[in-house]
Amino acid sequence: MGWVVQRHGELYAREFGWDQRFEGLVAGVVAQFVANFDAQRERCWIAERGGRRVGSVFLVKKSPRVAQLRMLIVEPAARGLGIGERLVTECVAEARRLGYRKIVLWTQANLKSARRIYRALGFRLVKREPHASFGRRLVGEYWELGL
């Protein structure tokens, strides 16, 4: 779990100029996941390649019928290999298996690769809203997929 927090903080600072508040947000999400983990309804995948961690995604219970996809990340050296799509595909398949009816997620408009994956797997954009977070002006996007 520490790797997830560290890599989000490092990569988003380097690639997008996001400040330490983003790493703090991720740390809070991870802490909540660990503290309230429901083994019957929640999952975390950490992708490895050649013995090294290269990506992650979380499936979190938002309500009995709605899951939330959280913290998708793929290491720069592993991008373009289909790892992000595989992580999200596994997340969707597991949500179906667990009986969820919908998956929701929050992302940012500038995260183009993640948005491409979501769209390709059938998620639809339901809301956009500008906000100032992590030391930047961003456009938050809410996506969902009916299961």
- Could you tell me the residue range of the domain that residue 133 belongs to? 39-146
The answer to whether residues 98 and 61 touch, using CB atoms and an 8 Å cutoff, is: no
Contacting residues for 100 by C-beta, under 8 A, at least 6 apart: 65, 66, 67, 147
Q: Is residue 60 part of a domain?
A: yes
The answer to whether residues 54 and 74 touch, using CB atoms and an 8 Å cutoff, is: yes
pLDDT category of residue 94 using cuts at 50, 70 and 90: very high
Contacting residues for 105 by C-beta, under 8 A, at least 6 apart: 68, 69, 70, 118, 123, 142, 143, 144
Of 95, 87, 93, residue with least CA distance to 63: 95
pLDDT in tens, 11-62: 999 999 999 999 999 999 999 999 999 999 999 999 999 999 999 999 999 9
CATH number at residue 48: 3.40.630.30
User: Which pLDDT value is given to residue 58?
Assistant: 98
Query: Which of helix, strand or coil describes residue 122?
Result: coil
User: Whole-prediction pTM value?
Assistant: 0.94
- Residue 87 DSSP class: H
pLDDT category of residue 87 using cuts at 50, 70 and 90: very high
Q: Is residue 8 part of a domain?
A: no
State how many domains the chain has: 1
User: Which pLDDT value is given to residue 19?
Assistant: 96
Q: Is residue 139 part of a domain?
A: yes
